[in-house]
Amino acid sequence: MLKKIILAAVVAATASFAQINFGVHAGLDMNTFWGDDTEDASSGIGFQAGAAAKISLPLLPITVAPEVLIDMRNFDVSDKVVMTEWALDIPVLVRFSLLPILYIEAGPEIAFNLSTTAEDDDGHEITEKQLEAIFPDFNTFEFDLVFGVGTGIVPFVDIDFRVILGMTSFFDDPEIGDPLDISNMQFALGATYWF
């Protein structure tokens, strides 16, 4: 019983001395698809921006870094169709500091598809009805795994490179049987300014 009380006191003391920082995050990302049913899709460039937090525990080289990001993803679905998706991304990453200025990070991310539009190769918008004829329904929820490496070499700024692997199908159409095995994949280069 005494050991449990001491452990609870240590955890409470550690949590009370946790350092919390808030910041803004912005980045560029390259978007593509991966999976068994991926054929002609090539990459497209997008961007993301939002808010970030960093919760550091004393005496441990571990930091928890949740973020809330608005993400514009562009996909060259074929040589004739470019698709744009606006998503709300919520990654919760755990950072492990290898050196004072270098860290690796990993964790889950949930994303919500806010809207999806498409244009043909002439720049004309494809209507929602035309889009439904080309593609099955889009999944509104996405679960991803995020892996990255970063540095804090610039004061108050973290610079990171991340790989985001979608674990859920990008499309969802029960009428064709099993969902298509096409998932989102991103390579993101970003920076966070900490206040």
pLDDT at 86: 94
> How many CB atoms lie under 10 A from the CB of residue 33?
22
- Which sequence spans correspond to the domains of the chain? 23-194
162 close to 144: Cβ distance less than 8 angstroms: no
- Whole-model pTM: value is 0.82
pLDDT at 105: 97
127 close to 120: Cβ distance less than 8 angstroms: no
Q: What is the CATH number of domain 23-194?
A: 2.40.160
pLDDT in tens, the chain (195 residues): 666 666 565 555 555 567 899 999 999 999 988 877 666 667 889 999 999 999 987 778 899 999 999 999 988 766 677 888 899 999 999 999 988 889 999 999 999 999 888 887 777 787 767 766 666 677 889 999 999 999 998 889 999 999 999 998 877 754 555 556 778 899 999 999 999
The string of pLDDT tens digits covering residues 152-191 is 988 899 999 999 999 988 777 545 555 567 788 999 999 9
Let me know how many helices (H) and strands (E) the chain has, helices first: 2, 9
What 3 state SS string does 151-193 have?
EEEECCEEEEEEEEEECCCCECCHHHCCCCCCEEEEEEEEEEE
pLDDT at 173: 59
